[in-house]
Amino acid sequence: MSNSLFSVEEARQLARKRLPRMMFDFVDGASGDESLSDLNSRALDEIRLMPRVLVDVADRDLSSNILEQETGLPFGIAPMGMCALSWPGADQHMAREAAARRIPLCVSTASSSTLEQIIEDAEGHAWFQLYADQSGDFVDELIERAKASGYKVLILTVDVPIPSVRTRDLRNGFTFPMQWGPRQIWDFATHPRWSLTTVLQCFVAGMPRPMNYVTSTQGTKFIRSASRGRANWHFLEMLRDRWSGKLVVKGVQSHQDAIRIKAMGADAIYVSNHGGRQLNAAPTTIESLKVIRQAVGADMPLIFDGGIRSGEHVIKALASGANFAMVGRSAMYGLGAGGGSGLADILDVISNEASSV
Ligand X SMILES: Cc1cc2nc3c(=O)[nH]c(=O)nc-3n(C[C@H](O)[C@H](O)[C@H](O)COP(=O)(O)O)c2cc1C
Q: 105 to each of 80, 167, 281, how far by Cα in Å?
A: 10, 29, 28
Q: Which of the residues 121 through 160 are near ligand X (CB under 6 A)?
A: 129, 157
| Minimum CB distance to ligand X, residue 28 (Å) | 8
Cβ closest to ligand X, residue 156 vs residue 344: 156
Nearer to ligand X, 125 or 329 (CB): 329
Identified binder of ligand X from the candidate list 272, 284, 323, 351, rule CB under 6 A: 272
Applying CB under 6 A, which part among 93-101, 119-127, 305-313, 336-344 lies near ligand X? 305-313
CA atoms of 312 and 349, how far apart (whole Å) = 11
- In angstroms, the CA 143 to CA 154 distance is 8
Minimum distance of ligand X from residue 107's CB (angstroms) = 9
CB of 328 within 8 A of CB of 275? yes
80 sits near ligand X (criterion: CB under 6 A): yes
**Separation CA 213–CA 194 (nearest Å):** 25
For the bound state, the minimum distance from the C-beta of residue 136 to ligand X, rounded and expressed in Å, comes to 19
102: Cβ–Cβ under 8 A, 6 or more apart, which residues? 63, 70, 71, 72, 73, 125
Interface of this chain with ligand X, residues 60 to 79, rule: CB under 6 A: 78-79
- Please answer whether residues 340 and 333 qualify as being in contact, where contact means their C-beta atoms are separated by less than 8 angstroms: no
Out of 327, 337, 343, 349, name the contact with ligand X by CB under 6 A. 327
What positions carry a catalytic annotation? Answer: 274
Closest residue by beta carbon to ligand X:
328
Q: Is 271 in the site for ligand X (CB under 6 A)?
A: no
Is the alpha carbon torsion for 37, 321, 98, 91 positive or negative?
A: negative
Written in H, E and C, the secondary structure of 254-267 is CHHHHHHHHHCCCC
Question: Binding of ligand X at residue 334 (CB under 6 A)?
Answer: no
40 binds ligand X (CB under 6 A): yes
Which residue in 321, 246, 312 sits closest to 286, CA to CA?
A: 321
Instruction: By CB under 6 A, name the binding residues for ligand X.
Output: 26-27, 40, 78-81, 108, 110, 129, 157, 250, 272, 274-275, 277, 305-308, 327-329, 332
